[in-house]
Structure 1
Amino acid sequence: MYTNFSLTPAVPALSGAMLPQMGMPGVEEEFLGSKIDVEYMDYVHPHWRQYRAPQAFQHLLLGMVYAVILFMGMLGNLLVLITFFTTKSLRTPSNLFVANLAIFDTLMMSKLPVFVMNSIVEGQLFGKIGCDLYGLVGSYSGMGAAITNSAIAFDRYRTIAFPLDGRLGMKAAVGLVIGTWLWATPFSLLPFFEVWSRFAPEGYLTTCSFDYMTEGPSTRYFTLTIFVWAYCIPLLLIALFYSRILSHVREHEKMLREQAKRMNVKSLSQGDEKSAEIRIAKVAISIVFLFICGWTPYALVALIGGFGERSLMTPTFSMFPAIACKTVACIDPWIYAINHPRFRAEIQKKVPWLCFFGEEKSSKASDTKSEASDVKSETA
């Protein structure tokens, strides 16, 4: 269905680079794709096959980077999940979204051992089915995490803006969590079954993503659709809800100042609530910044592959988006959960040998403060 129609027009332009693959003995392994099974070569776009294969040190360097990401990401996300499911007091609707994000991020981390094995063989160790499953897991984890970030922003907005009657119940939270999985399903299964687009190797041919290289309107429509669905909509929702939170806190602080002026007192705010606006702004900026840093590289690579100047897309350049999104999946649990005093205190009880959580008395003090205010509890 997705025969690579670019082979014929690409031959004149790439003939010099492709010649070693086409019959000069002794140099085939120097070019990308030389170790890919012949029956699978149709899935490898000719653009990648014009480049020489990366050196061993490049695979080693990537492997070391991915090893650090795997360790820190698995540690953080598993700590969040274990703490959530074993501590009854933490199983709240708000924390359910954080746990759901940790599940998506753990899925992202689960691909890294496959990447290492693919790097060893300099191709796809498990062939087409391995590439398809790699892409499927990445699609679910990426789109699911993106929309879960939006759900967390929505939950925090409801909790802070409407503290009395706006909090989501557990049934509503479960419904939204199911919705995050449904959100990621269409554009994960469509390329998996090659109904619309497909998963194909990219970069060093050791990772797989949806096919944004094959020429034709179908590929371009899919690229634009997934760009809006998986990137633009979640980013707009995150920015919208956190901007509303910040606006609400500003109005609340303004109201307190006016009331204090009428009562001829200095302030009606508690001392530790004066910085609420600053804390919320920091959280909002951090989350939006992480989202942009994690997913903008992938969005740019896909748009360049489908619409831009492909000469910019070297294999090494195309590997950076994968590193970026996995780094964000590694950082997420530390931003959302482990930085929260209640999570931090429970984790310290379960694994006291993890000394980087700080002193227990500090955690307990922060926990007491977080219980005193909905704003502090939701933005810690």
Structure 2
Amino acid sequence: MYLPQVDGNATAILQPLPLHQLDSESLKVLGWNLPSEHLHLVHPHWRGYPAPPFFYHLLLVLIYFALMVTSAFGNGIVIYIFTTSKSLRTPSNVLIVNLAIFDFIMMLEMPMFLANSCFERIVGFELGCNIYAALGSVSGIGAAITNAMIAYDRYKAISSPLDGRLNFVQAGLLVWVTWLWTMPFTIFPFANIWGRYVPEGFLTTCSFDYLTDDNDTRGFVACIFVWAYLLPMILIAFFYARLFKHVCAHEKMLREQAKKMNVKSLSANQDQNATSVEIRIAKAAFTIFFLFICAWTPYAIVTLLGAFGDKRLLTPAATMIPAIACKIVSCMDPWVYAISHPRYRMELEKRLPWIGIRETSVSDNKSVCTEGAETSTTA
């Protein structure tokens, strides 16, 4: 067996050093504190790396604790306000609540991670690993496909403002689709039907196995990459591209018509200081798409490298980055999707004045285009 040569106890480089040359008293390898009957959980790739110093775990504990509080607060308030406020109970907002629920589920991983970091291993061994990874699978895949459903809803609301809006039955069906979408690639590895859940990185987080060198693992990784990442990304890009194209065409038509009529604008009650509709749509679409890319591209790269690329690039520290990225984005979603909603801010000002939110009343006298744009960008 070979270990990466190390500088002290912290930094590993990719030069093998025979195990018999190492002082076992001064260097612990990953998996050192697992009972022998549970060592099968640790992929051989990780057994060649030194265990990180305990202060690395403490640093991650601080980061995850801050993310846990932020996520619980942000997503919890979104769920509470949107479900208890009559003015916010709309079909479009059902999808926002669904997204917040998925993000809240991801938050449930964090207390487990705090315990794992304190013990420097997965608490509960195989069962604990399966539960941790299943929570991440449900929340991650569910949030990805819910983003796609939100993109579809906003495209319909803008392109067909009179008859394109969802009703509660349609919104409910879309929510069911998002939950059904999460099931296959959550249940298969949990039940060891296809793939499996294993510890990764510092062995304090778990995900599906992307390191085993066989066709079954590579097939699983390829399928989950398409199902959980590529298809939602294509849907999000498609619907927002169509939405932006429609808005630009509509605004161009209004400007040309206004020019022919020798008036400044055809939009009723237009706020001259407000950002133009197409810019608002572009910013919202870019932010949503950018957050999706930031959240899941690191995981996609790591898993593809593990299954099809150079595994030597996957150090324990490198594979912790995707987990942190996903958690950060799950904390930001409530602010991106909900905090810009005028009526949501009004409810926050009324119910939680200590937050410091100040919002003027929302006028209902808006043009069809402006109202549709606002619903699309803030619903």
TM-score (norm 1): 0.91
Q: Give CA-to-partner distance per residue, 1:233-282, whole Å, 9 cap, x none.
A: 10111111111111111111111122112223232234337700000000
CA contact (8 A) 2:2 2:18 kept: no
| Aligned residue among 235, 238, 250 for 2:236 | 238
| Aligned residue among 348, 360, 367 for 1:364 | 360
Structure 1, unaligned runs of 5 or more: 1-10
Distance 1:247 1:59 in 2: 47
Shift in CA distance, 99/304, structure 1 to aligned 2, threshold 3 Å = same
Distance 1:108 1:12 in 2: 36
Distance 1:371 1:102 in 2: 29
CA contact (8 A) 2:113 2:205 kept: yes
What pairs with 1:93-132 in structure 2 (closer than 5 Å)? 93-132=91-130
Instruction: Quote the offset at 1:12 in angstroms.
Output: 6.4
More moved, 100-109 vs 331-340:
331-340
Instruction: Please state whether the residue corresponding to 1:46 is helix, strand or coil.
Output: coil
Shift in CA distance, 17/174, structure 1 to aligned 2, threshold 3 Å = farther
Distance 1:369 1:199 in 2: 51
CA contact (8 A) 2:291 2:329 kept: yes
| Aligned residue among 225, 247, 250 for 2:248 | 250
One-letter amino acid of the counterpart of residue 19, structure 1: L
Structure 2, unaligned runs of 5 or more: 6-15
| Aligned residue among 36, 39, 44 for 1:38 | 36
Distance 1:42 1:246 in 2: 51
CA contact (8 A) 2:258 2:266 kept: yes
Instruction: Quote the offset at 1:378 in angstroms.
Output: 2.5
Q: Give CA-to-partner distance per residue, 1:261-319, whole Å, 9 cap, x none.
A: 22232322343377000000000000111000110000000001111111111101110
Show the counterpart of 1:8.
none
Distance 2:210 2:142 in 1: 20
Q: Give CA-to-partner distance per residue, 1:72-124, whole Å, 9 cap, x none.
A: 11110000001012112211110000000000000001110100100111111
Distance 2:224 2:363 in 1: 43
More moved, 334-343 vs 197-206:
334-343
Distance 2:303 2:90 in 1: 38
Q: Give CA-to-partner distance per residue, 1:24-63, whole Å, 9 cap, x none.
A: 75357x1111112222211211111111111121111111
Percentage identity across aligned positions? 51
Distance 2:214 2:59 in 1: 35
Shift in CA distance, 20/374, structure 1 to aligned 2, threshold 3 Å = farther
**Is 1:290 matched up with 2:288?**
no
Instruction: Quote the offset at 1:350 in angstroms.
Output: 1.4
Show the counterpart of 1:142.
140
One-letter amino acid of the counterpart of residue 281, structure 2: I
Instruction: Quote the offset at 1:369 in angstroms.
Output: 6.6
Show the counterpart of 1:349.
350
Q: Give CA-to-partner distance per residue, 1:156-176, whole Å, 9 cap, x none.
A: 011111011111110010000
Instruction: Please state whether the residue corresponding to 2:318 is helix, strand or coil.
Output: helix
Instruction: Please state whether the residue corresponding to 1:236 is helix, strand or coil.
Output: helix
| Aligned Cα root-mean-square deviation (Å) | 2.0
Shift in CA distance, 267/89, structure 1 to aligned 2, threshold 3 Å = closer
Which aligned segments of 4 or more residues in structure 1 are displaced greater than 2 angstroms? Answer: 11-21, 23-28, 264-267, 269-274, 367-372
Instruction: Please state whether the residue corresponding to 1:353 is helix, strand or coil.
Output: helix
Distance 1:370 1:156 in 2: 20
Q: Give CA-to-partner distance per residue, 1:165-208, whole Å, 9 cap, x none.
A: 11111001000001000001000000000100000000000000
Show the counterpart of 2:322.
321
CA contact (8 A) 2:67 2:327 kept: yes
What pairs with 1:182-193 in structure 2 (closer than 5 Å)? 182-193=180-191
One-letter amino acid of the counterpart of residue 368, structure 1: S
CA contact (8 A) 1:70 1:109 kept: yes
Show the counterpart of 2:12.
none
More moved, 265-274 vs 212-221:
265-274
Instruction: Quote the offset at 1:68 in angstroms.
Output: 1.2
Instruction: Quote the offset at 1:18 in angstroms.
Output: 7.4
Shift in CA distance, 162/20, structure 1 to aligned 2, threshold 3 Å = farther
Distance 1:205 1:102 in 2: 28
Instruction: Quote the offset at 1:341 in angstroms.
Output: 1.2
Show the counterpart of 1:3.
none
Shift in CA distance, 143/170, structure 1 to aligned 2, threshold 3 Å = same
One-letter amino acid of the counterpart of residue 200, structure 1: V
**Is 1:302 matched up with 2:297?**
no
More moved, 343-352 vs 176-185:
343-352
